[in-house]
Amino acid sequence: VATPARFSFRRTIYSHGWYALPPFTVDHQTRTLRRIFELPGGRPAVVEMHDRNGSGITASCPSGATAAERNVLIRGIRACLRLDEEFSEFHAAALSHHEYRWIPRTGSGRLLRSATVFEDVVKMLCTTNCSWSLTEVMIGNLCTKLGVPVDGYGCTFPTAEAIAATSEKFLRKEIRAGYRAPYLLAFARAVAGGSVRPESWRSATVPTAELYDELRSIKGVGPYAAGNVLKLLGHYDYLAIDSWCRKRFSEIHRNGRKVSDRAIEKWYEPFGRWRGLFFWLDLTRDWYKRKIPF
DNA sequence: GCGTCCAGGTCTACC
DNA sequence: GGTAGACCTGGACGC
């Protein structure tokens, strides 16, 4: 799979927490990103991705896959790794700020996303108002209890139809979604029924504010979740500030003093339509020095 | 081991 | 438009 200039496999994988949620897994020893995709018809396919030292990605797919199926998987890989998104303007903006020249130099900026917008929204809902460990529990349960199993590898992410066919009680008690259960069920049923079409949002040419309003109309999706889903759709106008971001900004820019959201927003205003991405990369810069395994 | 308290985003009711 | 309280869970803490 060919990759564009200023692309870093490692920086993309570890850009945020999605790599740790199924159906993604990372083998840190072999530096492999693995994901279970779903082929047309519902058949699962395990794909393993390796970096080729800057000359593309090697992706292995199941033996017996047809040419058409391989093309589906390559499109899926390109979508997850954001290989077709244009970042030259963003990198040029970063070069114009002395303290952000490391961004294009390290190939940063691409945020890992799921194969579908539906999956990204469900995952984002499961990050709200809880610890990361609970998010892992909820997503793990969704996959193992509603996805399609693959021997030795885990399960696919469940379809909207699979979640829609459950009940609030099941999502509350078996998935451990708690009060999010009615939100997940309503969203899955709206997608399965066709009244909400999240996959159309990736190619939408409507203004970001309209997409934001559409996301906010989903019950359970507030400013934080909507702003973050927008970033995964390629729109970086919203910061999506949560408690961790507030704390991190305060440590980096205010010597640990309390700071208002308005002050944080003002700080990143000069970065225009890329401010959400500058914001996130600024706060997570030190991850690559001490937090990630390779 | 048990009970209590708190953090985490969003919604709803109320002012 | 702003604010308080409820929602649910896991983790920290004290006993």
- What contacts A216, CB < 8 A, 6 or more positions away? A222, A223, A226
Residue A20 CB neighbour total at 10 angstroms = 14
Find the Å distance, CA of residue A216 to C1' of nucleotide C1: 18
> Could you tell me the distance in Å between the CA of residue A86 and the C1' of nucleotide C5?
45
A182 in contact with nucleic chain B (CB within 7 A): no
A80-99: buried (b, 16+ CB within 10 Å) or exposed (e) per residue? Answer: bbbbeeebeebbebbeeeee
Max Cα–Cα distance, chain A, nearest Å = 58
Cβ within 7 Å of nucleic strand C, residues: A 129-131, 133-134, 137, 172-173, 176, 178-179
Summarize pLDDT for A225-278 with one digit per residue, the tens.
999 999 999 999 999 999 999 999 999 998 888 888 999 999 999 999 999 999
Give dist(CA A283, CA A43) in Å, integer: 39
Residue of least CA–C1' distance to B9:
A129
Tell me the nt nearest to A178, Cα to C1'.
Answer: C8
Full-model pTM:
0.96
DSSP A112: P
* Strand B nucleotides, any atom under 7 Å to a protein CB: 7-12
Ranges A38-42, A99-103, A166-170, A270-274: which has the least confidence: A38-42
pLDDT tens per residue across span A93-107: 999 999 999 999 999
Nucleotides of strand C under 7 angstroms from a protein beta carbon: 7-11
3-state secondary structure of A155: strand
Residue A44, CA atoms < 13 Å, CB-side half-sphere: 19
